[in-house]
Structure 1
């Protein structure tokens, strides 16, 4: 099973840069980059809520589940 991270897509649709989002939610650009690439093992609900608040979206817009075949 895989979790697909669509954060970069949502950011592009909202025309928000990584630098802008990282500063707004209080994380480093490096950590945001890891999150965008799906290279993290977890994400705090507080961070997810801050991202959704800033981008005016829902968690399901950023994260998707793909079952293994």
Structure 2
């Protein structure tokens, strides 16, 4: 029995399907904009790349958690 993915990563399959890019692509974009605040990064993904709020928020939360 496999554990169900929880947290921000649970959005990853739908993000890849909807926007046609692997998660690594989005993580690279987020890393390139560091340092920046969480909501600044969310706004960047929404405004510049057309992501929905939930998807952008999940990507940023995951990227920032990996940083610490």
TM-score, with length taken from structure 2? 0.32
More strand by share: 1
Q: Which has the higher contact order (CA 8 A, sep 6+)?
A: 1
TM-score, with length taken from structure 1? 0.32
More helix by share: 2
